[in-house]
């Protein structure tokens, strides 16, 4: 069995993991561990942009509820509420 030696092991190949690996590489040898491939992460598949309720048939509460649901209630609810209310105001100005 081959043995490997690293100064840092980063678990996760999303944006945060890859950024951490890039930063850590200045200080030593880095391994990035991913459950599949580097191009199969939430960061890779994210569409980017800003989520905001600007359509008359849309509502900040829909975005809020969706974010809380997919965040498995781990999100700071006040921060999420603030974000979706502020985004619409800023985009409409």
Quick: pLDDT tens for 40-75. 777 777 766 666 777 788 888 888 888 888 888 888
pLDDT of residue 50: 64
- DSSP letters along 32-88, please? EE-SS-TT-SHHHH---S-----STT--HHHHHHHHHHHTTT-S-HHHHHHHHHHHH
Percent of the chain with pLDDT over 70: 87
């Amino acid at each position: 069995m081959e043995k490997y030696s690293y100064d840092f092991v980063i678990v996760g190949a999303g944006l945060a993991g890859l950024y951490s690996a890039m930063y850590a590489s200045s200080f030593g040898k880095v391994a990035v561990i991913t459950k599949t491939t580097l191009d199969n992460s939430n960061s890779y598949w994210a569409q980017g942009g800003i989520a905001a309720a600007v359509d008359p048939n849309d509502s900040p509460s829909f975005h809020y509820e969706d974010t809380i649901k997919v965040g498995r209630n781990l999100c700071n609810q006040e921060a999420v509420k603030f974000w979706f209310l502020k985004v619409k105001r800023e985009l409409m100005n």
